[in-house]
Amino acid sequence: MTAAIETTEAGAPIKREPRFSWLWQLLRDPLGCFGLILVLLIVLAAAGADILSPYDYKALDIKARLAPPSFEHLLGTDNLGRDTFSRILHGGRIALYVALVSVGGSLVLGLILGMLAGYGPRWLDNLLMLLFDAVRAFPVIMFALAVITVVGPSLETIIFVVIVTSVPGYARITRAATLSLKNTEFILAERSLGAGTVRVMVSHLLPNLIAPLLILASMDIPVVITIEAGLSFLGLGVKPPTPSWGSILNDGYSFIRNTPWLVIAGGIPLIITTLGFTFLGEAMRDVFDPKMKKDR
């Protein structure tokens, strides 16, 4: 109350939107709030994996192989007696690392290619669009499998595959925005005033693009994490002993008749992550882009 009065007394009637109003809007949406909590949970767990892990994720305890959950091993142990809980915490790191690097890479590359397509000469636009169509013609996993056959499975292979397959999505959005911006009057005006083309495009394009690209990115993160876990589950992702949710699931699958706990424990963080990012992305879309909301 007092703060409000003081600002009025100061003379400037403040009526602008508070800087973090979008955050409040996000938190008012129960599902968005829920999503944010799940995402924070996963991020904190991955960041603090070293502190939070009760055991070394590589440490073997042969006597306690395939143990069910207990106070000693919160989520039980795997076939080599490694503590599942510790492995899941560290697996989160891999998942988030792959997601961040490849979504970030796709974002940057998509932004550049999209602007090139939208602003460059017509033949380049056509060529790029054709290329994007070609990339989207593959079932993603099949493309990944083909690349892995030649290059061999690794973290880098996964990131490469994800970037190649998700760049078209970002590039298309950027291209559409660039095209619609290209001929607006204020751009023509600024150019006639001698502003550099690229600088004008970037400075006007980015503010318009941040929201849709962020929404797409937050929707893409669970997809990427799923691909990483999926390939690791197939034994074609990260190499052991690096822990990944997918490889935990793979171990769990092999021993599914001995213990259900590995499969259950490996699946839960994946579900939490994908649900969290999806709910967050949906809520963000509703907040930033009310037109797209269409009264969900």
Partner 1 sequence: MLLYTFRRLGLAVLIVCLAMLLLLAAIHMVPGDPAGIALGPRATPEMREAFKAKMGLDQPFVVQYVNFLTNVVTGDLGVDVWSNRPVSTMIGEQLPHTIALAIAGLGWSIMIGIPLGCFSAVHRNSWIDKLTGVLSVGCIAIPSFIVGLYALLLFAVNLRWFPAIGAGENGDLGDQAMHLVLPGLAVGLGWVGYLARFVRTSMLEVLGENHIRMARAYGLPRRRITYVYALKLAILPTIALLGVGVGGLISGAVFAEIIFARPGVGKMVVDAVNTRNYPIVMGGVLVTTMLFALSTLLSDLLAAWIDPRVRQGL
Tokens at residue 187, please? 């751009």
Of 169, 163, 154, 140, the C-alpha closest to 242 is 154
The b-or-e profile of 93-121 (16+ CB within 10 A means b, else e) is bbbbebbebbbebbbebbbebbbbbbbee
| Contacting residues for 46 by C-beta, under 8 A, at least 6 apart | 89, 92, 93, 95, 96
- # of chain residues touching partner 1 (CB under 8 A): 52
200 or 263: CB nearest partner 1: 263
* Residue 135 found at the interface with partner 1 (CB under 8 A): yes
Considering only 117, 164, 238, 248, the residue that binds partner 1 (CB under 8 A) is: 164
CB 277 within 8 A of CB 221: yes
Cβ-contact 17, 10 below 8 angstroms: no
Q: Which is nearer to partner 1, 213 or 280 (CB)?
A: 280
Determine, following the binding rule CB under 8 A, whether residue 256 of this chain makes contact with partner 1: yes
The stretch near partner 1 (CB under 8 A) out of 58-66, 142-150, 168-176, 208-216 is: 142-150
Build a one-symbol-per-residue string for 4-33: x at contacts with partner 1 by CB under 8 A, - elsewhere: ---------------------------x--
Q: Does 294 engage in binding with partner 1 (CB under 8 A)?
A: yes
**Residue 260 found at the interface with partner 1 (CB under 8 A):** yes
Could you tell me which stretch among 73-81, 139-147, 182-190, 208-216 binds partner 1 (CB under 8 A)? Answer: 139-147
Q: Which residues pair with 77 in a beta bridge?
A: 83
Per-residue tokens: 17: 């939107």
Classify residue 245 by burial, with Cβ atoms within 10 Å: 0-12, 13-18, 19+.
buried
Give backbone dihedrals phi and psi of 122, rounded to 5 degrees, phi first: -60, -40
d(CA 25, CA 28) in angstroms, rounded, equals 5
Among the residue ranges 67-75, 86-94, 205-213, 272-280, the one whose residues contact partner 1 (CB under 8 A): 272-280
Q: Which stretch binds partner 1 (CB under 8 A): 16-24, 112-120, 199-207, 268-276?
A: 268-276
**Is 253 among the residues that bind partner 1 (CB under 8 A)?**
yes
- Does the protein bind partner 1 through residue 208 (CB under 8 A)? no
* Per CB under 8 A, 274 contacts partner 1: yes
Cβ-based neighbours of 184, under 8 Å, separated by 6 or more: none
User: Sign (positive/negative) of CA torsion 47, 238, 245, 221?
Assistant: positive
Among 60, 143, 195, 208, binds partner 1 (CB under 8 A): 143
- Asked if 150 is part of the footprint of partner 1 (rule: CB under 8 A), the reply reads yes
Q: Which of residues 220-239 bind partner 1 (CB under 8 A)?
A: 222, 226, 229-230, 233-236
Please report how close the Cβ of residue 39 comes to partner 1 at its closest, in angstroms: 12
Q: Which residues bind partner 1 (CB under 8 A)?
A: 31, 130-131, 133-143, 145-152, 160, 164, 222, 226, 229-230, 233-236, 249, 252-253, 256-257, 260, 263-264, 267, 270-271, 274-275, 277-279, 282, 294-296
